């Protein structure tokens, strides 16, 4: 197939767009959500207090990592971080430090198991306003105290799409909700998901073929698109 068009539901790295083009994949970028960090003295104070108390951290979003790192005046010495693999772990390594990562998992359920098995007693969970329930529910059920700190807000940006494309890539359940609130898909379009949670959200709203990438990252999603194109 000479022209494989992939709609991505957020802006992705320009280098990945270029790489996709070299592999015969035309990227169509449309943003269906906006992420807005919560900037306030209260949130900044809570983050700094949590860092100074050396509480263990949990992240399921790179946006939360970025928000916390922006409020770190000095490196936290004994910080332990549990996070999702892929983009979230990459952001932790870049902004906080690889040596701070105590455990990772592919999804929230797996991350909860890692934290429970590590014997932690208290976790500070930094998240967005539309965070899902899986991680705090697992931790609370295991008797782990969860301090939830909302550090960013996700705003839905629904827009109708008239372009034709062979596949569509989703990177969050919020983007799935935003897209399908005003759009439907033709039967031939394949849905690509960055993770199991996002994949489940897709399956609830459409019956199109849905595939999940091996790793929760933009790179892995585009590799999956490449495999699909090569097999058409």
Encode pLDDT of 46-57 as tens digits: 988 888 887 899
User: Any bridge partners for residue 127, and if so which?
Assistant: 150
Mean of pLDDT values over 85-110: 93
The DSSP bridge pattern shows strands 167-170 and 190-193 to be: parallel
For all residues of the chain together, what is the average pLDDT?
93
Q: Is the pLDDT of residue 232 over 90?
A: no
pLDDT of residue 55: 80
Fold that domain 4-32+157-231 belongs to in CATH: Rossmann fold (3.40.50)
According to the model, what pLDDT value does residue 74 have?
Answer: 63
Rg of the chain over Cα atoms, rounded to whole angstroms, equals 19
Answer whether residue 1 shows pLDDT above 60: no
Query: Structure tokens of 214?
Result: 């091996």
Q: Which CATH architecture has domain 37-153?
A: 3-Layer(aba) Sandwich (3.40)
pLDDT band at 163 (very low <50, low <70, confident <90, very high): confident
pLDDT for res 219 = 94
- Quick count: other Cβ atoms within 10 Å of Cβ 42? 8
Q: How confident is the model at residue 15 (pLDDT cuts 50, 70, 90)?
A: very high
Q: Which residue has the higher pLDDT, 120 or 51?
A: 120
| 74 vs 221, residue with greater confidence | 221
Position 79 scores a pLDDT of 87
Tell me: pLDDT of 138 over 90: yes
The arithmetic mean of pLDDT across residues 149-178, rounded, is 95
pTM for the whole thing?
Answer: 0.86
Q: Could you tell me where in the chain the CATH 3.40.50.10090 domains are found?
A: 4-32+157-231, 37-153
C-beta of residue 26 within 8 angstroms of C-beta of residue 6? yes
At 177-195, the pLDDT tens digits run 999 999 999 999 999 999 8
Per-residue buried b or exposed e for 182-197, using 16+ beta carbons within 10 Å of the residue's own CB: ebebeeebbbbbbbeb
């Amino acid at each position: 197939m000479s022209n494989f068009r992939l709609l991505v539901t957020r802006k992705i790295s320009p280098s990945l767009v270029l790489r996709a083009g070299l592999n015969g994949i035309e990227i169509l970028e449309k943003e269906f959500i906006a992420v807005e960090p919560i900037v306030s003295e209260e949130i900044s104070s809570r983050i700094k207090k949590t860092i100074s108390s050396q509480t263990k951290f949990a992240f399921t979003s790179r946006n939360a990592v970025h928000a916390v790192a922006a409020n770190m005046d000095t490196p936290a010495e004994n910080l332990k971080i549990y996070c999702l693999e892929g983009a979230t772990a990459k952001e932790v390594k870049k902004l906080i430090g690889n040596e701070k990562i105590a455990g990772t998992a592919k999804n929230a359920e797996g991350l909860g198991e890692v934290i429970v098995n590590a014997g932690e007693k208290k976790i500070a969970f930094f998240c967005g306003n539309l965070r899902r329930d899986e991680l705090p529910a697992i931790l609370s059920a295991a008797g782990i105290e969860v301090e939830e700190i909302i550090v960013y807000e996700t705003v839905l940006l629904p827009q109708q799409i008239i372009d034709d494309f062979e596949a569509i890539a989703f990177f969050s359940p919020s983007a799935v909700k935003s897209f399908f609130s005003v759009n439907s898909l033709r039967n031939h379009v394949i849905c690509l998901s960055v993770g199991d949670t996002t994949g489940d959200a897709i399956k609830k709203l459409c019956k199109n073929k849905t595939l999940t990438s091996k790793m929760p990252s933009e790179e892995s999603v585009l590799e999956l698109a490449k495999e699909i194109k090569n097999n058409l």
